[in-house]
Amino acid sequence: MRTILGRDVRMGPRSPFVLYALVIPILLTVLVQGIFGDLFAPEPRLDIVDEGNSSVTSQALALEGFTVTEIDDLDTMLARVEGNDADAGLYLPGGFDEEVIDGDQPELQFYVGGESLASNRIILAVTTLELIRGIEGSESPVDVLVVQLGEAGPDVSRRVLPILLMMAVAIAAGFLPAASIVQEREDRTLSALLVSPASMSDVLGAKAGFGVILALATGFMTLALNDAIAGQWWAHLFVLTVAGVMMAEVGLLLGTWAKDSNTLFAAWKGGAILLIFPAFFFLFPELPQWIAKLGPTYYFLEPAFAIANDGAGLEDVLGRLLIGVAICLALIPAVVVAGRHLERTNATG
């Protein structure tokens, strides 16, 4: 088993399936975070043309959470705002501060980009007015009190995390062992392995082991890319181990059943929804959650979600994880029967 596993690890980088398993979590994370998350969420961007060394400029440059750029001339600033290189532009003519202090109410030239986010426009407009109010030395006419009602739930990008994790683990630990077994059969290298001292259990164990190792790598990669690794890294390790073993067993069953690559791909595309459907209930929490519990993958997806988003510890999710462990144990006899069937089929073939 160790020899076969070592061979698969060495040959792994040459396999498009291994590269696919490693690249998919990165591509999906970039796509999801780019649409829903904070990975590419731009800070409010403000360009300033200051012809009189206004104190507004120095205060704006000191702001945290903003991208403030000083521009030399008005035409350049207008071109940048129109081209969506900045969300807004502020023009401060010479003597602006003095006019504000004298109460002359000078005209404020504030430009916003048509393609900028509405939220960024509001933030920049309100912030600019507060900076100018600081020149006058007056206090804000109101104090804003923000009161949160109810517990804040995770944002959309975090709710998508179970789907990303499911895809990463399923491809690495599920599809990859299945594809490897089918390829061994099609290349007739499985027969060569079985006439050596290796048994069918050695072959299946090595395939499953490689899948679990890869699932741990892609699982941690997905969590890290989504900034979802909590303090208890060993809790994530336990969860991902259960996930990898469960998906590896599914992969072994699928690989021993599928006669060729076409059958494998058809079965994977048709049956993947049965594995991934519990993940969608985290994205839509208003749906009846008991339905998600009907899927075996729920019992590692829910603990992973709780640890990453709710700060749960291993002791908090142990009950659900033990159900996942029980499912893994229940699948062992099926894998043994499938392995014996494959051995007989390969011998007669």
pLDDT of residue 348: 60
Q: Would residue 142 count as lying in a domain?
A: no
Q: Would residue 150 count as lying in a domain?
A: no
**Do residues 311 and 181 share a domain?**
yes
Q: Would residue 281 count as lying in a domain?
A: yes
| CATH code of the domain containing 111 | 3.40.190.10
How many Cβ atoms sit within 10 Å of the Cβ of residue 261?
13
Q: Would residue 228 count as lying in a domain?
A: yes
Number of domains observed in the structure of the chain? 2
**Do residues 101 and 176 share a domain?**
no
Range of the domain at 291: 2-36+155-348
**Do residues 7 and 25 share a domain?**
yes
Torsion angle, alpha carbons of 159, 163, 164, 167, to 10? 170
The answer to whether the beta carbons of residues 259 and 190 sit under 8 Å apart is no
Q: Distance (Å, rounded) from C-alpha 323 to C-alpha 329? A: 10
Strands 67-70 and 88-92: unpaired
Please say which residue of 107, 136, 165 terminates a domain.
136
This prediction's pTM: 0.68
**Do residues 23 and 81 share a domain?**
no
**Do residues 28 and 55 share a domain?**
no
**Do residues 116 and 171 share a domain?**
no
The angle formed by the CA atoms of residues 170, 173 and 177, to the nearest 5 degrees, is: 120
One digit per residue, pLDDT tens: the chain, 349 residues? Answer: 888 888 777 777 677 777 777 888 788 777 776 666 554 556 789 999 999 888 889 888 988 888 899 999 999 999 999 988 898 999 999 888 888 888 878 888 899 988 777 778 888 888 888 888 777 666 555 454 545 445 545 556 677 888 888 988 998 999 999 998 988 888 888 887 778 888 888 889 999 999 999 999 999 988 888 888 866 788 899 999 999 999 999 999 999 998 888 998 888 888 888 888 999 888 888 889 899 999 999 999 999 998 888 788 888 899 999 999 999 999 999 999 998 888 887 766 5
**Do residues 205 and 91 share a domain?**
no
- Half-sphere exposure of 245 toward its Cβ, with a 13 Å CA cutoff? 17
Q: Distance (Å, rounded) from C-alpha 75 to C-alpha 53? A: 19
pLDDT of residue 153: 53
How many Cβ atoms sit within 10 Å of the Cβ of residue 344?
11
Residue 232: helix, strand or coil by DSSP? Answer: coil
The answer to whether the beta carbons of residues 342 and 200 sit under 8 Å apart is yes
Q: Would residue 10 count as lying in a domain?
A: yes
**Do residues 191 and 239 share a domain?**
yes
Strand order in the sheet with 67-70: 67-70, 45-50, 88-92, 109-112
Q: Would residue 321 count as lying in a domain?
A: yes
**Do residues 226 and 340 share a domain?**
yes
Q: Would residue 259 count as lying in a domain?
A: yes
pLDDT of residue 63: 85
Residue 297 identity (one-letter amino acid) = T
